């Protein structure tokens, strides 16, 4: 993988935020697509944590430094400020304690990158309003009883959590369908209504 | 310091044509300082190499063997005539590719395959050391290996790799000589020997010492060998290398060469004759006192102990890349112990990978055909080599 064109759009947008040579921890790195791109192309000093042992083994076989672990229980081991960036991509809604995970990310890294699905998207709102059932969308395709997404939130909710944690939003990008719609103002109501997801670049204030 | 071809082996060679490797003999000017406070001098380290050292001397990989292993990692064993113990892992085109890497494997100090151990003649007395041989530790083994590298003119290793006790040595390398090694790969091991593992070792030692032919350790002078005790030690240990599931799958309650129970104490079950065979072949190649010494070295291993109980401090500011592998059915060095190492490495933000491989083959999995382990080793070494600018 050498160009961002092979990366999923949201991962490519995250990759663009990371400068070459940075120290990066990718929490919930999945099959390692983003990490591999960052290591190969941007020469970052990259590590990963991944819940699925199968994914971990595949990552390590590709030469990535990945350990099996859990964002909820294993971030506490890392010392303060050892990474330039800690990335959490499409995972925060599946953690048990999102606030604590965010706190650890901002403690371990100088900056944190968080991407998440937006439960405030109009399709979700309409699905609940008119369908009367827990919404199932393309981004959130699970039934309520088998979803790993136990802490869904809207963009506005997440912005509140970030500020409640004493952190600053340096950038916010809206995700629409398969593409990145660009920078948005995190406080405006527009993205919270129109974006299917968002990517935040955060740091401790 | 001299180098000799064909180290001296205690047992007759059943494959005299096999490459017996070399030994470096360290004279009185190069004593081995031991953790117990004594020094060992003179002493020899027997070793094998595979592949070619490149001009920059940057492609050397040290493989550390386990308790009863030896330096014949990838070639026919001159004493037993059996293939190397890790031929699926090490060789041309294998995960540890001898077409790319220069592989060194040395017999540990205290063992009996050409490196100095209790069966060697003590130059001070002219008699075998037997129990006068000093107790050695994992750190002593590693110290001797670093002296071997000095003798070979190799300053830095690309990697240190080992399973079980070999993994302990790899960890000790990371702690003792972090700047002499780039990557460290402990497989199926632990940063300390557990109470249960010490217990099994003590059973083995007591079996040896209870054998009347052991003669207080001085069996060589008496012309005897505590073969029965050593065989029992091996049988008990061998059980710990397997898993309940694998034993059941391979042997079940199957009878050996008979239709019905014999109502005697001769081996009725396949598992019994399998263990007997393991014991019998072991005593043909291994020295009983070496078994006592090396099991003790493993018992004494507790890497955190050297750092006031903080394992992470053993790896503080480590420049090394680590890759840890465990196996789901290994109850001797279970995943939890391997994970403890990974956690300690995380705590100092070391560059660590940790892979757990699903298998029912127990601790011995690291010696067996485990494709996921091979993929992991290959991928990790590729990453290490390319980060180091090696083709």
pLDDT tens profile B17-40: 999 999 999 999 999 999 999 999
Give A47's contacts in chain B (Cβ within 8 Å). Answer: 351-352
Is B347 in Cβ contact with A77 (below 8 Å)?
yes
Residue B354 main-chain phi, psi, to 5 deg: -140, 125
Contact call for residues B180 and B155 (beta carbons, < 8 A): yes
* pTM (2 d.p.): 0.93
- What's the CA gap between B76 and B13, in Å, rounded? 11
pLDDT-derived band at A4 (thresholds 50, 70, 90) equals low
A48: closest CA of chain B, how far (Å): 8
The verdict on A54 touching B (C-beta cutoff 8 Å) is no
Which pLDDT belongs to residue A1?
43
Give A59's contacts in chain B (Cβ within 8 Å). Answer: 353
Is B346 in Cβ contact with A77 (below 8 Å)?
yes
Render pLDDT for B234-289 as a digit per residue (tens, 0 to 9): 999 999 999 999 999 999 999 999 999 999 999 999 999 999 999 999 999 999 99
Mean pLDDT of chain B: 96
Tokens linked to B364: 């011995």
Interval B375-379 mean pLDDT: 95
Nearest by CB to B356, from A45, A53, A59: name it: A53
Contact call for residues B236 and B200 (beta carbons, < 8 A): yes
Q: Which residue has the tokens 């493993």?
A: B298
The verdict on A56 touching B (C-beta cutoff 8 Å) is yes
Task: Calculate Rg over the CA atoms of chain A.
Answer: 16
Tokens linked to B361: 């083959």
pLDDT-derived band at A103 (thresholds 50, 70, 90) equals very high
Which pLDDT belongs to residue B391?
67
This model of the complex carries an ipTM of: 0.85
Facing residues of B63 across strands? Answer: B105, B161
Is A78 in Cβ contact with B346 (below 8 Å)?
yes
- What's the CA gap between B210 and B226, in Å, rounded? 9
A138 vs B105 pLDDT, higher one: B105
- What's the CA gap between B178 and B181, in Å, rounded? 6
Which pLDDT belongs to residue A2?
47
Residue B7 CA to its chain's centroid (Å): 19
Residue A15 main-chain phi, psi, to 5 deg: -55, -35
Among A74-78, B21-25, B206-210, B331-335, the least confident range: A74-78
Buried b (16+ CB within 10 A) or exposed e, B115-148: bbbbbbeeeeeeebbbeebbbbbbbbbbbbbbbb
Among A33-37, A134-138, B317-321, the least confident range: A134-138
């Amino acid at each position: 993988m050498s160009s961002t064109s092979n990366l999923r759009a949201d991962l490519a947008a995250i990759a663009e935020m990371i400068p070459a040579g940075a120290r990066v921890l990718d929490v919930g790195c999945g099959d390692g697509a983003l990490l591999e791109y960052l290591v190969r192309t941007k020469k970052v000093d990259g590590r990963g944590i991944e819940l699925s042992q199968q994914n971990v083994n595949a990552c390590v076989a590709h030469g990535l430094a990945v350990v099996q672990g859990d964002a909820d229980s294993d971030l506490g081991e890392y010392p303060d400020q050892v990474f330039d960036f800690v990335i959490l991509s499409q995972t925060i809604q599946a953690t048990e304690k999102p606030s604590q995970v965010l706190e650890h990310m901002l403690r371990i890294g100088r900056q944190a990158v968080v991407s998440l699905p937006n439960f405030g998207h109009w399709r979700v709102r309409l699905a609940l309003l008119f369908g009367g059932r827990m919404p199932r969308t393309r981004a959130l395709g699970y039934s309520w009883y088998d979803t790993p997404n136990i802490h869904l939130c809207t963009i506005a909710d997440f912005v509140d959590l970030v500020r409640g944690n004493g952190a600053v939003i340096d950038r916010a990008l809206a995700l629409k369908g398969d593409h990145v719609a660009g920078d948005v103002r995190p406080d405006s109501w527009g993205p919270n209504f129109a974006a299917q997801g968002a990517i935040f670049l955060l740091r401790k204030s | 310091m001299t180098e000799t071809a064909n180290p001296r082996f205690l047992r007759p060679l059943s494959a005299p044509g096999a490459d017996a490797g070399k030994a470096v003999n360290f004279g009185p000017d190069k004593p081995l300082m031991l953790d117990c406070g004594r020094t060992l001098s003179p002493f020899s380290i027997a070793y094998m190499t595979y592949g070619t050292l490149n001009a920059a001397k940057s492609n050397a990989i040290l493989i550390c063997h386990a308790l009863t292993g030896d330096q014949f990692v990838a070639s026919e064993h001159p004493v037993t005539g059996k293939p190397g113990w890790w031929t699926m892992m090490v060789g041309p085109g294998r995960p540890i590719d001898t077409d790319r890497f220069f592989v060194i494997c040395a017999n540990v100090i205290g063992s009996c395959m050409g490196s100095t151990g209790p069966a060697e003649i003590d130059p001070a007395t002219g008699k075998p050391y037997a129990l006068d041989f000093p107790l050695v530790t994992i750190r002593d083994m590693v110290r001797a290996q670093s002296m071997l590298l000095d003798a070979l003119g190799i300053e830095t290793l690309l990697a240190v790799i080992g399973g079980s006790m070999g993994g302990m040595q790899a960890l000790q390398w990371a702690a003792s000589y972090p700047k002499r090694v780039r990557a460290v790969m402990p497989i199926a091991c632990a940063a300390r020997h557990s109470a249960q593992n010490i217990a099994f070792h003590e059973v083995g030692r007591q079996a040896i010492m209870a054998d009347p032919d052991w003669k207080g350790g001085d069996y060589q002078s008496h012309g005897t060998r505590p073969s029965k005790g050593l065989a029992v030690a091996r049988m008990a240990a061998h059980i710990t290398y397997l898993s309940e599931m694998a034993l059941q799958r391979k042997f079940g309650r199957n009878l050996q060469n008979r239709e019905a129970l014999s109502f005697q104490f001769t081996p009725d079950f396949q598992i019994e004759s399998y263990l007997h065979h393991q014991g019998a072949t072991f005593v043909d190649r291994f020295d009983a006192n070496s078994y006592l010494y090396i099991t003790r070295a493993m018992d004494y291993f507790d890497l955190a102990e050297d750092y006031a109980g903080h394992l992470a401090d053993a790896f503080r500011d480590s420049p090394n890349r680590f890759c840890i592998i465990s196996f789901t059915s290994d109850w001797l060095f279970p995943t939890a112990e391997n994970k403890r190492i990974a956690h300690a490495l995380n705590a100092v933000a070391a560059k660590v990978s940790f892979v757990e491989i699903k298998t029912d083959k127990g601790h011995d999995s690291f010696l067996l055909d485990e494709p996921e382990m091979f993929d992991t080793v290959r991928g990790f070494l590729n990453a290490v080599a390319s980060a180091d600018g090696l083709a």
